[in-house]
Amino acid sequence: MYIFRKNIFVILFLISNSLLITGEIKNDDYEHLLLMCSHANKLVRENKYDTALYFYDSIFEYIDSIESEIKENDTAQLDSLKEEIANHYSNFEKIVLDLNLTFDSEDKLSCFDKKDFNLIKEDSARKEYLPFPHDTGINKVNKWIDIYTNKRRESVQLYLDRSSKYIDDVKKIFKHFNLPEELAYIPLAESGFSPLAHSFAKAIGLWQFIPSTGRVFGLNSNWWEDERKNVIKSTIAAAQYYIYLFNKLNDWDLVLAGYNCGDVRVQKIVNKHKTNDFWSLYSLPKETKDYVPRVKALICIGKNPEKYGFTVEKELFRHDTVMLDSCVNLNVIAQSADIDYEEIKKLNPHLRQWCLPPYAENYSVIIPAHSKIKFRNKFSKFSEKEKYSVASYKVKKGDTIEKIAEAFKVNTEAIIDLNSISKHGFLSPSQFIKVLEVPVKENWFTDFNNKYLTYYDEEEYFKDGKKKIIYKVKSGDNLSMISKKHKVGLTKLKAWNKIGKNNRIFAGQNLVIYL
């Protein structure tokens, strides 16, 4: 451990001295970076290595944030500094591996900073909440523990394995809001800790927000992105929702019930039975009466998996973010981060298209932490045409937004958002507008879509048909008949119309089909 301490001091010392000779960094920026180094030194002296590592990563993040403000012809010294820090960071990682160090996740929680999650100042207000109850409904909870440790053991092991990627960030957010840590394990029941999970009721993401509730708590859902799949933003929304429910119901068992069937319904049943004891509310829906003990059982397992015979390996992957602007091609971002297109999509499951939204400004994209220091340099080597998926189109007589969108195989929303025009906006002949160029000839794009474009994702990567028609469902129709009649795949038909596993359609329903 002495070697580790000695080397980290050398690293931080070299960084500090490098900053002193870097003339283009402003005094305020220099002081901020020096303060982070100083604090990292203090944490190392206190043997809080994981938190020191967080501040070391924050140096990279801060350099990345000031990089765009430095003139292009003044970057030589900064590039030199980045290269030096990258070398030190490589040494740092080697030391960690050589000494087989394991980090305490609680240290990570203590270094939470509001800017990590774009939280507003009012959110930081500390409120004391009742502890999460572990002594209620014990028999019913134990029944579900028995089910999960026997019949459903394989599924629970999968959920626990997935959780290792996200649990530290989820805990960090709930700690910030001063909420019980137990709530961080609820995605084990809601989604199996899969950001892509969706239900027949169109609930999506780790926390299974339906569209309307997601909008209430600030989660965008459009052709470009679905923030219900954004782990950080959806978890903040979930924390705020739990705060809302607790303020209404003032009991955590009732809060869980309210999350499942709605606080208004729970409150009515509480008033009807004249008790706020969840376990006495026999007129609650059966699903809700099962949901609460089921969640509490998975919380018990999540908090102490070894006790129940499960194994959870600590997630070694460490991620960071880069801030980018509108319509940047995700494959270019992936190559700049030394990963492939499929990996960048997995790291950012909320991004529905092959590029960032046109309204993106300082848009946060997740990449592997180890690739951040060289990211900007690699990104700068791509041409503007490679970076951006946008071209110019000259409007012809008779063109409409719908016709142009169909011709370029994109949603009308893509044309509207790119050009800041209204849905029913008038286009003049010879007018130039921006259009997205779908990379249909690129292997990275077609391979990914062939692998993942299914109704399970409910995604619309691009409209791969030439002609859009609306088919009105007739009595006696089923999806198989309709797909065969129009010679389109059943999977695509379901994806275009967001139809779930039950294959349910009804007479008079309009189905979208691309021929």
Tell me the pLDDT tens digit for each residue of 132-149.
887 778 999 999 999 999
Q: Which residue has better confidence, 288 or 503?
A: 288
Q: 456-478, pLDDT tens digit by residue?
A: 344 444 444 445 678 888 888 89
In the chain, the amino acid numbered 234 is: S
Q: 78-120, pLDDT tens digit by residue?
A: 666 566 555 555 555 555 555 555 544 333 332 333 333 444 4
The answer on 4 and 88 residing in a single domain is yes
Does some domain include residue 99? yes
For 347, other C-beta atoms within 10 Å of its C-beta total 21
Does some domain include residue 243? yes
Is the model's pLDDT at 159 over the cut of 50? yes
Mean pLDDT of 241-268: 93
Query: Under a CB-based contact definition with an 8 Å cutoff, are residues 205 and 191 in contact?
Result: yes
Using CA atoms, how far apart are residues 142 and 372, in angstroms rounded to an integer?
46
Query: Under a CB-based contact definition with an 8 Å cutoff, are residues 241 and 210 in contact?
Result: no
The answer on 230 and 365 residing in a single domain is no
Structure tokens given for 143: 């029944």
The answer on 248 and 333 residing in a single domain is no
Domain ends where: 402, 417, 436?
A: 436
For 280, other C-beta atoms within 10 Å of its C-beta total 11
Does some domain include residue 411? yes
Say how many domains are in the chain: 4
* DSSP 8-state class, residue 209: B
* Of 124, 129, 122, 101, the residue nearest 112 (C-alpha): 124
Does some domain include residue 227? yes
Is the model's pLDDT at 4 over the cut of 50? no
Q: DSSP E strands: which ranges in 31-107? A: none
The answer on 397 and 364 residing in a single domain is no
Using CA atoms, how far apart are residues 194 and 183, in angstroms rounded to an integer?
16
The answer on 182 and 222 residing in a single domain is yes
The answer on 417 and 364 residing in a single domain is no
Q: Which of 234-243, 317-326, 354-363 has the lowest average pLDDT?
A: 317-326
Is the model's pLDDT at 247 over the cut of 80? yes
The answer on 380 and 273 residing in a single domain is no
Does some domain include residue 513? no
Using CA atoms, how far apart are residues 472 and 170, in angstroms rounded to an integer?
44
The answer on 75 and 9 residing in a single domain is yes
Q: Which domain holds residue 149?
A: 121-308
Instruction: Please report, rounded to a whole number, the percentage of residues in the chain having pLDDT higher than 90.
Output: 36
Q: What is the pLDDT of residue 187?
A: 96
Query: Under a CB-based contact definition with an 8 Å cutoff, are residues 235 and 173 in contact?
Result: yes
Q: Measuring CA to CA, how many Å separate 458 from each of 359, 427, 495, 498? A: 22, 31, 6, 6
Q: DSSP E strands: which ranges in 245-362? A: 319-324
Domain ends where: 387, 411, 427?
A: 387
* Of 188, 495, 203, 451, the residue nearest 343 (C-alpha): 451
Does some domain include residue 362? yes
Q: Residue 411, SS3?
A: coil
Q: Measuring CA to CA, how many Å separate 58 from each of 34, 37, 89, 154, 320? A: 12, 10, 12, 38, 9
The domain that holds 407 is classified in CATH as: 3.10.350.10
pLDDT, the chain, mean: 78
* Of 38, 49, 39, the residue nearest 2 (C-alpha): 49
Using CA atoms, how far apart are residues 182 and 248, in angstroms rounded to an integer?
19
Does some domain include residue 253? yes
Does some domain include residue 254? yes
Instruction: Please report, rounded to a whole number, the percentage of residues in the chain having pLDDT higher than 70.
Output: 70
Query: Under a CB-based contact definition with an 8 Å cutoff, are residues 224 and 357 in contact?
Result: yes
The answer on 25 and 42 residing in a single domain is yes
The answer on 68 and 44 residing in a single domain is yes
Domain ends where: 107, 132, 160?
A: 107
Query: Under a CB-based contact definition with an 8 Å cutoff, are residues 242 and 122 in contact?
Result: no
The answer on 368 and 411 residing in a single domain is no
The answer on 379 and 398 residing in a single domain is no
Instruction: Using the Cα atoms of residue 280, residue 282, residue 285 and residue 289 in order, give the sign of their dihedral.
Output: positive
Is the model's pLDDT at 419 over the cut of 80? yes
